[in-house]
Amino acid sequence: MAARRRTFCLECRKETEYVLRKTPITKTIREKEYQFQITTAHCKECGCEVGVNGLLDYNVKEIDSQFRKAEGIITSEEIEKLGKIYCLGKTPLSIALGFGEITITRYLAGQVPSKEYSDIMRAALSDTTVMRSLLESNKDKLADTAYKKAINAITDLETLFSVPSKMLMVISYIFERLGEVTPLALQKILYFIQGLYFSKYGTPLFSDNCQAWVHGPVYVEIYDLFSSFRYDPIDDPRFELLKGKSNSLDSEEKEVIDLVVNTFGIYGGKTLERITHKENPWLDAREGYSESEPSQEEISKEAIREYFVAVREKYDLNTESGIMEYIQEMLASA
């Protein structure tokens, strides 16, 4: 049994149980009034607010987080990622961005950046061309080794993200919706998105064809991008650069992605693999191959469209319930 929450209540003059509640407060920061939600503890017997160890520190962090969100200010975690992405320490990063030498150190210690400086860092975090421009502008102030390391990092990133822009937009949105996804699951989700979108609108969402690998349909460029994670969830500071790329997706594209994420996306990669192994696009492309024999046979976009058009005749692929019905039947027969 979990330990009960207990603390000393000054009103009851004894140790009592307490409950946590969200409490609205108003604070003025930089001459502007803000509404925040903090966590308070209350005695279960008399209802008075009571003190709990660690709660003050927790609320300080909560207020900082809510303030930054309200003002669109970059977080300390994002600033740390910025340094990791471009292989720069605190001082070189400050100089490269055009700030004072200890500015980044202060921000990482908790000081809140100005909106102007925050926007600069956010732009560099989301676009390598912005960071390259900043580096060139401040090259004379940087040590040569730091400059070269950052430029090499940018070159590697540009190679890494040479994937077609539409695919990156979709992957960015999948990351936003799922939060955590393995390379295997991502491949299958992309395949199902292509199938549902192409069969509904008559045009493919991606220009790429995938291949029929042993473990199901694979978009090779995406495999190369995330292969280092193997069966682990994709987690790399470099992929912070994907954030925001989904903003260019239209409502129809997001609607299809949402349908796939809310249905296929609740399953792990191996389960999704089982489904694709029962579908004609993968089976037809793998014809003549043994179960574990590698292949690079192409699964054409048209083959995916034809299959899912036929599936639409039996299942309502415009609704989550219809898609779940399809999934359950495929898993039952796998």
State the DSSP string of 120-140.
HHHHHHH-HHHHHHHHHHTGG
**What pLDDT, on a 0 to 100 scale, did the predictor assign at position 333?**
82
Domains of the chain: 6-70 (3.10.20), 76-160 (no CATH), 165-333 (no CATH)
Listed in sequence order, the residues at least 6 apart from 321 whose beta carbon sits closer than 8 Å to its beta carbon are: none
**What pLDDT, on a 0 to 100 scale, did the predictor assign at position 239?**
80
Model pLDDT for residues 38-72, shown as the tens digit of each residue: 999 999 999 999 999 999 999 999 999 999 989 99
Backbone angles phi, psi at 98, to 5 degrees: 90, 20
Torsion of CA 155, 161, 165, 166, to 10 degrees: 180
Model pLDDT for residues 262-302, shown as the tens digit of each residue: 999 999 999 999 999 999 999 999 999 998 999 999 999 99
Low-confidence ranges of the chain (pLDDT < 70): 1-3, 334
**What pLDDT, on a 0 to 100 scale, did the predictor assign at position 2?**
43
**What pLDDT, on a 0 to 100 scale, did the predictor assign at position 334?**
61
Cα gap 304→302, rounded to integer Å: 5
**What pLDDT, on a 0 to 100 scale, did the predictor assign at position 269?**
95
Cα gap 79→85, rounded to integer Å: 10
Strand order across the beta sheet in which 298-299 lies: 216-218, 210-213, 298-299
Cα gap 78→304, rounded to integer Å: 39
The label of the residue with tokens 């925040």 reads 36
Q: pTM of the predicted model, to two decimals?
A: 0.71
